[in-house]
Amino acid sequence: MIGVERACGDRALLDALAAVVDRFDPMPRRVAVRARAALRERTEALPLRLLSDSVLVDPPGGSRRVTFSGLDLRLARDGGGVRVSGSARVGAFAVVRWPGGSVTSALDAAGWFYVERVPFGPVRCVLRGGGPDHATPWFVA
């Protein structure tokens, strides 16, 4: 192995291997930036606890209401995706995330936001502005 001339402990061997990987196959900067942002969001955002989900009582194909502490969501089928509207008690912006994308929407004067064509599947809402972020857990839209 390059740079390792004698037997060494596990930590030293892993450090040497990391140095080789960093030198010959560095991580793209955009991947590192996105990973740091995701970790920061996960560890710094205050959790919004799930209070109720109407999917358990409403017929399939209708609109769905999901209530978190501090955020009421309405999900309705919209073509090939979901229209998400929400009423938030904190924040100035709502970020609706899904694997591979996100949309940021400003809250109107009454505290509502609207996002069109969110893909079916896992989503998460993050409320930003006016203090620490607040975030829902991932759930399936």
pLDDT digits (tens, 9 = 90+) for 120-131: 999 999 999 878
Q: How far is CA 55 from CA 32, 80, 141, in A?
A: 37, 19, 10
pLDDT digits (tens, 9 = 90+) for 5-18: 555 688 888 888 88
Residue 78: give the domain boundaries: 47-140
Domain assignment of residue 100, yes or no: yes
**Domain co-membership, 37 together with 92:** no
pLDDT of residue 113 exceeding 80, the answer is: yes
**Domain co-membership, 36 together with 51:** no
pLDDT of residue 114 exceeding 80, the answer is: yes
**Domain co-membership, 52 together with 76:** yes
Q: What confidence category does residue 107 fall into, taking pLDDT thresholds of 50, 70 and 90?
A: very high
Helix (H, G, I), strand (E, B) or coil at 131: coil
Supply the pLDDT for residue 41: 67
**Domain co-membership, 113 together with 55:** yes
Supply the pLDDT for residue 56: 57
Task: Judge whether 63 and 75 are in contact, CB under 8 Å.
Answer: yes
Q: How far is CA 58 from CA 67, 126, 137, in A?
A: 14, 25, 22
d(CA 96, CA 77): 16
pTM of the complete model: 0.69
Residues 6+ apart with CB under 8 A from 9: none
pLDDT of residue 110 exceeding 60, the answer is: yes
**Domain co-membership, 34 together with 65:** no
